[in-house]
Homo-oligomer: A and B are copies of this chain.
Amino acid sequence: MLSKEAPIGVFDSGIGGLTVVREIMRQIPNEKIVYFGDTARVPYGSKSKETVTRFSRQIVHFLESHNVKTIVVACNTASAYALNELEKEIDIPIIGVVKPGAKAAFQTTKNGKIGVIATEATINSKIYSQYIKELSPDMTVIGKACPLFVPLVEEGLLQDPVTDEIARRYLTELIDLDIDTLILGCTHYPLIRSTVAKIMGEKVTLVNPAYETARELKEMLTAKGLLQMEAPGLGSNQYQFYVSDTTDKFIRFANSIIKYGILSAKQVNIEEY
């Protein structure tokens, strides 16, 4: 029997998933969150399905040990590669960022042409296309891997001529194919939203799965009677952050994404889970 009071588990390959945490904090502010970022083994986006699934399974075991009431896979690559497997293996609800993003794009498009930018792994999985075509087989979905976006964001080049140039190269074929909706299919990409928006032009609507995922999470918790209605008491340790590498760099970066001051995080040997 799951309890309303239990925390929500959220995980990502590293720090990008904090953009999803930020949305959850905004939309359902009474919830407790246990976050895990796999900073020792980041990134996932260039790795195989088998490896991403093995890593994700260890993290799910870790989150289960915290008695979470549900798990949010706040990483597009892990959602694309591991979610279907993990869903079969555990008893609590688990949601990813891909399905909510796909649904929102489907609801947004007018001309039926949707672009997806993401890691190599997410694009290779073709999962956005699969979900969108389940909603309507008439949709055209064009995926484009953008492997340099994550390093550019992590180098802090959010608004920079180099990022503009790389974005132009990646995005030109999507513009040529006349898409009207573009999914930001990696949790780092909302941080360069303005660059992408500038290049795509105003006719193209950008979809941020982080926002949609938090909305779907709220709906799911409400439907199952698991939504926490009251703010947790003082000293209840509402937000807990865990990482697999040391914590100093994570804390610095986390505080640039999340307004809530992240003062501490704990290191976990995730290979033991």
Residue numbers of A with Cβ under 8 A of B are: 39-41, 46-48, 50-51, 55, 147-148, 150-152, 154-155, 161-162, 165-166, 244-246, 249, 271
Tell which of B47, B55, B150, B162 touches A162, judged by Cβ atoms closer than 8 Å. B162
A244 — nearest CB in chain B belongs to which residue? B51
Task: Let me know if A47 and B245 touch, CB within 8 A.
Answer: yes
Task: Let me know if B246 and A48 touch, CB within 8 A.
Answer: yes
Chain B residue numbers with a CB within 8 Å of A55 are: 40
Chain B residue numbers with a CB within 8 Å of A249 are: 48
Task: Let me know if A155 and B162 touch, CB within 8 A.
Answer: no
Chain B residue numbers with a CB within 8 Å of A50 are: 245-246
A38 — nearest CB in chain B belongs to which residue? B41
| Known interface pairs A39-B47, A147-B154; 16 further A-B residue pairs with C-beta atoms within 8 A, sorted by A's residue number | A40-B47, A40-B51, A40-B55, A48-B245, A48-B249, A50-B245, A50-B246, A51-B244, A147-B155, A148-B151, A148-B152, A148-B155, A150-B151, A151-B151, A161-B165, A162-B166
